[in-house]
Amino acid sequence: MTITPPALSVFEALESEVRSYCRGWPAVFDRAQGSHMFDEDGHTYLDFFAGAGSLNYGHNNPVLKRALIDYIERDGVTHGLDMSTTAKRAFLESFQNNILRPRDLPYKVMFPGPTGTNAVEAALKLARKVKGRESIVSFTNAFHGMSLGSLAVTGNAFKRAGAGIPLVHGTPMPFDNYFDGTIPDFLWFERLLEDQGSGLNQPAAVIVETVQGEGGINVARPEWLRALAELCERQDMLLIVDDIQMGCGRTGAFFSFEESGITPDIVTVSKSISGYGMPMSLALFKPELDVWEPGEHNGTFRGNNPAFVTAAATLDTYWADGQMEKQTLARGEQVERALRAICEEQSGTHFRGRGLVWGLEFEDKPRASAVCKRAFELGLLVETSGPESEVVKLLPALTISPDDLDEGLRTLARAVRETA
C-alpha cells in the first residue's frame, strides 16, 4: 500500500502542537467498522489499537449502533446531568444483573464525569475522605490520568513534568516483578508501613492497575494482587483498582481482577464501558464507603445518556453469559503463539500479556517505534507503550475475527522482520 501524506493544513495551522497520534499515523481517517478504519484516500487499516482500549467491541458495532440511533431518533434524553432517566435506569439494571450480581460484587455506582481521569479523581477524593489521610501509594510505571490528582499517581516523568507544580501526596512502590522476581513481593512497602520511623506518610489508599497498559504491558500475577489486597486490609488502606483500560473484558473476565479473586474497595471503569467509544466512566465502591454528600463531586457530562444506552446494549449482548470471556482467552492464545514465534525468530525481543492485551518489547528500544511506523505503512495500526516507548502494544478489539487477527499478527511479524 502506498500512502500519500495528505495536506494536513488545517490541522497544522490550527491544532495545538500537543497533538500526537496524528503524527505517527499521517492519514485523515473518515470511517470505521469493526476492526478496520478507512482514510479519506481510500486506504484501509487493520486496527490493533482500538481507541487505546476504548473500542473493545470494535468500531461502530452494529448492535450498539442500532440501539444508539433508535435512542437518538426517539429523542431520548441526551444530556442528563445526574437526573434519573430511563436510559440510566436501564444501564444500572443491566449492570446489576449482568455484572455485579453474578460476581457477587456489592458495589455502589457513581457517575463521576465521563472520562477516566474524572473517575480516578473521584476515587482518590473518596479514599481520602473515608480515611482522613492525604497520601496515596501508586506503582512504578502506573498511568492514571492527566488532571492533577491523577497525574500525581502516574509514573511517567514526561507527563508529570507537564503539571507545572510539584506533584506530591503520592509515593511510588515497585510493581509486580519490578526486580525480575529477585526481591520478595512488598518487602519494601510493608517494611515502610510497619516501621514507625520510615518517613512514609500513612497512605489512605493504594491505586493499582492489574496490567499496566501505558507502562509497558506489565502483568501483575494473581498472587501478587492477592497479597496486595491482604496488605491493604492489614494496614488499613483502601485498595483502588484502576480498571479503565483493562476492564470491560480486555483481559478475559469483565473485571481484570476477577482472575485473582480479590474484591477491591474502589474500582474505576471507563474507556470501553460505553462500548461505542463515547465518553463514560464509573467509580464503583463498597457501600460502606459511600460517604459522599449529595453534589460533593459533580460534573457537567456525568449523565451522557447515549453512552448509557450503548453500555447497556454491550452488557446485554456480550455479558449475559461467559462466551465473551472464553472467546477473548482463545484469541489471546492466538496472539501468544504468534508473539512467541516472533520472539523465537528475533533475538532481543520479549513478549507478555493476558487476554487480549499484549506487549512486544525490544531491547533495542527505538526499534519499537520503527516497527509501528512500518506496520502503519503496511496497513496495521499499532502503538508503543512503556517508559521509553520500547514496547509494541497490541489491543485488538475483543470482537476481532480469527482471520483478521491472524492477518494483523502476520503484518506485525513482517514489520518486525523488516526493521531488524
Residue 236: enclosing H or E segment and its boundaries?
Answer: none
Among 46, 211, 215, 368, binds a copy of itself (CB under 8 A): 215
Do you know the residue count of the chain?
Answer: 420
Name residues contacting a copy of itself, limited to 338-367 (CB under 8 A): none
Strands (E), 343-411: 349-354, 357-362, 380-381, 383-385, 391-394
The least CB distance from residue 340 to a copy of itself, in Å, is: 26
Beta bridge pairs of residue 171: 137
250 touching a copy of itself, by CB under 8 A: no
C-alpha 420/C-alpha 417 separation (Å) is: 5
* Residue 85 contacts residue 77 (beta carbons within 8 Å): yes
**Is the Cβ of residue 96 or residue 401 nearer to a copy of itself in the bound state?**
96
Residues within window 275-334 making contact with a copy of itself, judged by CB under 8 A: 276-279, 283, 285, 290-301, 304, 306
Residue number, 155 or 342, with CB nearest to a copy of itself? 155
Backbone angles phi, psi at 302, to 5 degrees: -75, -10
Residue 168 contacts a copy of itself per CB under 8 A: yes
The one among 1, 16, 344, 347 contacting a copy of itself by CB under 8 A:
16
Rounded least distance, CB 417 to a copy of itself, Å: 27
**Cell 501526596 maps to which residue?**
169
Kindly indicate which of the ranges 149-157, 249-257, 346-354, 371-379 contains the residues binding a copy of itself, using the contact rule CB under 8 A: 149-157
Restricting to residues 174-193, name those near a copy of itself by CB under 8 A: 174, 178-179, 183, 187-188, 191-192
Query: Per rule CB under 8 A, is residue 379 in the interface with a copy of itself?
Result: no
Residues 6 or more apart whose CB falls under 8 angstroms from that of 370 comprise 419
Give the residue, chosen from 29, 105, 317, 401, that forms a contact with a copy of itself under the rule CB under 8 A: 29
Looking at 128-136, 343-351, 352-360, 411-419, which segment touches a copy of itself (CB under 8 A)? Answer: 128-136
Decide if residue 127 touches a copy of itself (CB under 8 A).
yes
The answer to the question of residue 199 lying near a copy of itself (CB under 8 A) is yes
**Of 30-38, 254-262, 370-378, 410-418: span binding a copy of itself (CB under 8 A):** 30-38
CA dihedral 23, 26, 27, 33 (to 10 degrees): -60
Closest CB 345 distance from a copy of itself, rounded Å:
28
Q: How many CB atoms lie within 10 A of CB 73?
A: 8
| Grid coordinates belonging to 225 | 494482587
Binding-site size, a copy of itself (CB under 8 A): 151
Q: Is residue 258 within 8 Å of 322, Cβ to Cβ?
A: no
CA-derived radius of gyration, the chain: 21
* 270 near a copy of itself (CB under 8 A): yes
The answer to the question of residue 196 lying near a copy of itself (CB under 8 A) is yes
Cα–Cα dist 135/141, whole Å: 18
> What is the grid cell recorded at 231?
496488605
- Cβ neighbours of residue 265 closer than 8 Å, sequence gap 6 or more: 127, 205, 232, 238, 239, 240, 285, 286, 289
Asked whether position 393 contacts a copy of itself by CB under 8 A, the answer is no
Q: Name which of 287 and 347 has its Cβ closer to a copy of itself.
A: 287
> Please, are residues 205 and 237 in contact by the beta-carbon 8 Å criterion?
yes
Using CB under 8 A as the binding rule, the residues of this chain from 42 to 101 that contact a copy of itself are 51-55, 59-60, 65, 68-69, 72-86, 88-89, 92-93, 95-96
The grid coordinates of residue 250 equal 480486555
